[in-house]
Every structure is written in structure tokens, then in C-alpha cells.
Chain A
Amino acid sequence: MAGIIALVIIGLVVIWAILAYNGLVTLKNQAENSWRQIDVQLKRRYDLIPNLVNAVKGAMEFERDTLTRVMEARAKAMGAQTVHDKSAAESSLTRALGGLLAVFENYPDLKSSKNVLELQEELASTENRISFARQFYNDIVAAFNTRQSVFPTLIIASLFGFKKAEYFQAEEAAATPPKVDLGMK
């Protein structure tokens, strides 16, 4: 009788361990997938920036500094490898772009150009996509990290060498996504 009870208990523990392990793997995969989503959007932004810079270069003769800053920030962000470096480089790129879009206001010609307006919409959307993809990624990372640090899943996590995932930090307040709307409807 005692043998049967022991077997049942061992069986339950094994089932629990499998479920806990699978839960962790699912979260890890989700985190990796959503990181790839951010990556796709960051690449999209790298591709858009030269187009925007070329479209405005002629009209913004006097803002050479601002344009160079954007291109430099872009190059740096493209070179970043780890999540940590990437977070830092991307936020300085976001800031540089914010600066560029702010001086736009001084050039009425630019604001009425269809091409520039379209690029602005694409860039505004890309900024939003990055911040929403980051929000989703960070939510998954939070769930993944919490799961690893609470008892009893903690045991499985350390047994199989799960590592905490890194948050993709947004500079300044994480709650307010960068505004590059420029009053466009």
C-alpha cells in the first residue's frame, strides 16, 4: 500500500516537473519571438531613416548637425550586439530622430510635401511599432523572470539552467511612447 502511494506521489511530481519545464520553455520561446519582432521593426527604422534624410536634406541646409546626429546614431544602433547595448543605442537614435522631427516645424515647405508626409507617417508608425513590440516583449520577460524566481518552479529553472531574460529598456518614462505625431490626423 505504502509502495503504491509512493509511486503515485512520484508520478505526480514527475508530471508537475514536466508541466513546469514546458511552461518555462514556452515563455522563453515567446520572449525570443517577440525579440525578433522588435528586431524586424528596428531594421525597418534603419531603412527608413536614409530615405527621410535624403528627402529633407535639400530643404534643411542649415540643420546639417541634426541630420549627421541621426545618421551617426543609426550607424551605432546597427552595430550594437547585446540587448543591453541595443537598448542604449536605440534610445539615443529615438532622441536624435525626435530632434530632427522637432526642427521640421520650422520648414513649412517640408510639412506640405506629400513625399515627406508619407515618410513621416511611416516613421511615426515605426516608432509606435518599436514601442509596442518592446512593451509586449517586456511583459513576456516579466512573466518569464517571475516564473523562474517563484517557488517551486524555481527548482526546475535552476535545475535546467534557465537564465533571466533582459528587459529592453526605454530611455525616460517607459509609459509614454515617443511622440512624433506632428499634429497629423
Chain B
Amino acid sequence: MTDIYSQQKRNRRITISLMLGFFILVIGVGLSVDVYTYGSLDFTGRLPVATIIAAAFASFNGFAAYFYGSSMVLRSLGAESLKFEDPNHKRFRNVVTEMALASGLPMPKVYVLDDPAPNAFATGRNPESSAVVATQGLLEAMNREELQAVVAHEMGHIKSFDILTMTVVTVLVGTVSILSDWAVRTWRYGGIRPRRSMKDRGGIHPLILFLIGFFVLLSPLFSRIIAMSVSRNREYQADASAAEFTRNPLALASALKKIAAHTSPLKKARRATAHLFISDPLRRRLDDKEGFVADVFSTHPPIEERIRRLEAMGYLNNGALGQ
């Protein structure tokens, strides 16, 4: 098990490489467009307009992903503030306060998703700007100790700066996925046939074709990029942090069992946001498999394996206390 400081360092490193990779990708597209229109790499006397636009777009997007990523995620999933008439919401807020004390982190903002599927996630760029979100279904299904364990798991993601990586991945990959979805749709429904005005000016059609082809190729890659940067290991590490904060690994095991028993997917979750949650909200089959393919393509480890590890920790604890 790597300690929390190396996890933090790793997450900062991954976030920076993701930003750089995104920047290079977008500028590369811009540059190819310029090379295509001007016919060479020699821009003397001419402005590489597409490259400049691409650089502006990439900077804007990187900036937005870092500073506004969590609000974008919260808005796109429809997170709502707590309603204190509901005793469940009050209890949730109390439990988050308790876990903030146990982890020594500042109090995160607390939101609820109105969905019956029990699930939870955390987002933000650092502990000071973090937010913890649970579905209404989770608040209703869990007892106090189980809720504590789930929130402690999310505090683990916050403390290790997993939230930074996961949020930046969501926004950057989300942007690329919007572009590639658009490209795939254009490809399918014949939008690539040149309109008359373009045909008259000539030369633009193959360029658009190139861009569309590029994003169509990118589309299947995109799930893989998420899965690779958000390794399944994080979930095991956050589970271990939860056990450390609550000193009660069995509570998380029983929470995961309840979550696994609920099979309907979360309505508002998308491919781009799925990796944020404590358990895969899309209920993809691949998650339950072990091995290389699952490791590369899946965002969540099999829930049975997580439960097994937590229960092993629990028995270890009880054994130590019994002596």
C-alpha cells in the first residue's frame, strides 16, 4: 500500500501530464489544419489561425477543467443542496462532519442526487474546494455506520487528491467525447457530404473529413484513456483509507454489499462521469472480471474483491483486539 503523500504526488503528476497531453493533442489538430490550408509548415507572413484558435481553446478548457471542473460535474449530474427538513439529509451532513474530523480535512460541501440507486462520489481540485455527493437512495439504504464508511471512502479520495485527477479527466475527456460523438453522428447521417458553397470554394471538404475521421477514431479510445488514468487501484486505496478513518472495515464491506445488491443504473451517470462514483453507476459487466483486459478498460474493481479485502482487514482487527 502506497502512503498518502506518494498518492498525492502521483495525482499531481498525472493531472499535469493529462493537461499537457490534451494541450498537445488539440494544438496538433490545429497545426494539421494550418499545414493543410497553407500547404507547408512555413508560416512566414501568414498567421497559423487554426493553431492559435486551438491553443486558445486548449488553454481555456484546461483552465476551466482545473478551476470549474467540480461545478461542471455537479451541475451535469444535477446535484442539489441539502434539505434539512429531511432527517436523512441532516444525518448525512453530520456524518460528513464526523469524517472530516477523522481524516483531519476541512469540511467539504455536501450535496444530494435525487436518484434511488445507492451511490456516492467526491469532486474538487483540492480538499479546501471539495464536495461530497450521495444519492437519495444511498441515504435511505445505509445505516449510520455504513454511511460513515462510504463518506470515509470519499474522504480518502479527497485526501489523496484523486478528486483532482478524476475531475480533470472528466472535463477534458468529456470535451473530447462531445467532439467525437458529434463526429460519429455527422459521419453516420451523411453530414460529411459537402454543401454547395463549400464545394464552390473547394478544398474544405477533405479537411472536415480529416477532422471528423480523427475524432471518430478517437471515440473508442476515450473510454480507455479514462480507465488508464483512473486505475482501479484507487478504489482499493480509498477503501483502505476508509478503514483507517472509521477503524471499521466491516461497515464499508456491508455498505458495498447493499450497493451491489441494487442493480438498476444511475439515471444521470454517463461514461465521462462513471469513474467518479464509489461503485460503477452504469453497472458494466467488465467490472466484475479480473485480468489484463479488465484492468485496462474498466474503471472499478470487482465489488466482491473489495468486500473480501475489507473483511480480511476486519478479521485482522478483531483478532488483534481479542488478545
Asked whether, in the complex, the Cβ of B94 is within 8 Å of the Cβ of A37, the reply is no
Evaluate whether A125 and B98 lie within 8 angstroms (CB atoms) in the complex, with A136-B104, A175-B247 already known.
yes
| A39 is an interface residue with CB less than 8 A from chain B | no
Asked whether, in the complex, the Cβ of B87 is within 8 Å of the Cβ of A117, the reply is yes
By beta carbon, the residue of chain A nearest B244 is: A139
Asked whether, in the complex, the Cβ of A121 is within 8 Å of the Cβ of B91, the reply is yes
Asked whether, in the complex, the Cβ of B90 is within 8 Å of the Cβ of A34, the reply is no
Report the Cα distance A185→B145, complex, angstroms. 9
- In-complex Cβ contact of A132 among B90, B102, B144, B321 (8 A): B102
| B41 is an interface residue with CB less than 8 A from chain A | no
Chain A residues with a Cβ closer than 8 Å to the other chain, count: 22
- In-complex Cβ contact of A128 among B87, B98, B321 (8 A): B98
Report the Cα distance A133→B103, complex, angstroms. 9
Asked whether, in the complex, the Cβ of B103 is within 8 Å of the Cβ of A136, the reply is yes
Residues of B within 8 Å of A136, CB to CB, are: 101-104
Asked whether, in the complex, the Cβ of B247 is within 8 Å of the Cβ of A181, the reply is no
- CB-CB contacts of A155-185 with B at 8 A, as 1s and 0s? 0000000000000000001010000010011
Say how far B224's CB is from chain A's closest CB, in angstroms. Answer: 39
| A148 is an interface residue with CB less than 8 A from chain B | no
Residues of A within 8 Å of B103, CB to CB, are: 136
| A86 is an interface residue with CB less than 8 A from chain B | no
Report the Cα distance A37→B90, complex, angstroms. 21
Residues of A within 8 Å of B148, CB to CB, are: 128
Tell me what chain B mostly uses at the interface: helix, strand, loop, or mixed.
helix
By beta carbon, the residue of chain B nearest A183 is: B143
Within 8 A of A (CB), among B129-164: 143-144, 148
Report the Cα distance A102→B144, complex, angstroms. 18
Asked whether, in the complex, the Cβ of A135 is within 8 Å of the Cβ of B144, the reply is no
Asked whether, in the complex, the Cβ of B102 is within 8 Å of the Cβ of A121, the reply is no
| B252 is an interface residue with CB less than 8 A from chain A | no
| A118 is an interface residue with CB less than 8 A from chain B | yes
- In-complex Cβ contact of A135 among B87, B94, B97, B102 (8 A): B102
| A124 is an interface residue with CB less than 8 A from chain B | yes
Residues of B within 8 Å of A30, CB to CB, are: 104
Report the Cα distance A10→B48, complex, angstroms. 56
Residues of A within 8 Å of B99, CB to CB, are: 132
Say how far A129's CB is from chain B's closest CB, in angstroms. Answer: 5
Tell me what chain A mostly uses at the interface: helix, strand, loop, or mixed.
helix
Say how far A77's CB is from chain B's closest CB, in angstroms. Answer: 19
A-B contact count (CB 8 A): 45
Residues of B within 8 Å of A181, CB to CB, are: 144
Report the Cα distance A175→B318, complex, angstroms. 10
Interface centre among A122, A132, A173, A181 (most CB of B within 10 A): A132
Asked whether, in the complex, the Cβ of A121 is within 8 Å of the Cβ of B104, the reply is no
By beta carbon, the residue of chain B nearest A174 is: B247
Within 8 A of A (CB), among B156-213: none
Within 8 A of A (CB), among B233-252: 245, 247
Evaluate whether A185 and B101 lie within 8 angstroms (CB atoms) in the complex, with A121-B91, A125-B95 already known.
no
By beta carbon, the residue of chain A nearest B99 is: A132
Residues of B within 8 Å of A37, CB to CB, are: 101
| A41 is an interface residue with CB less than 8 A from chain B | yes
- CB-CB contacts of A72-115 with B at 8 A, as 1s and 0s? 00000000000000000000000000000000000000000000
- In-complex Cβ contact of B101 among A118, A129, A140 (8 A): A129
Residues of A within 8 Å of B102, CB to CB, are: 132-133, 135-136
Which residues from chain B sit less than 8 Å from chain A, CB to CB? 87, 90-91, 94-95, 97-99, 101-104, 143-144, 148, 245, 247, 321
Can you identify 21 A-B contacts, CB atoms within 8 angstroms? A30-B104, A37-B101, A41-B101, A117-B87, A118-B90, A121-B87, A121-B91, A121-B94, A124-B144, A125-B95, A129-B98, A132-B98, A132-B99, A132-B101, A133-B101, A135-B247, A136-B101, A136-B103, A175-B321, A184-B144, A185-B143
Known: A118-B90, A132-B99. 19 other contacts (CB 8 A): A30-B104, A118-B87, A121-B87, A122-B94, A124-B144, A125-B94, A125-B95, A125-B97, A128-B94, A128-B98, A128-B148, A132-B101, A135-B102, A135-B247, A136-B102, A136-B104, A175-B247, A175-B321, A184-B144
Which residues from chain A sit less than 8 Å from chain B, CB to CB? 30, 34, 37, 41, 117-118, 121-122, 124-125, 128-129, 132-133, 135-136, 140, 173, 175, 181, 184-185
Instruction: List the 3 closest pairs (A to B, CB-CB), nearest first.
Output: A125-B94, A132-B102, A133-B101
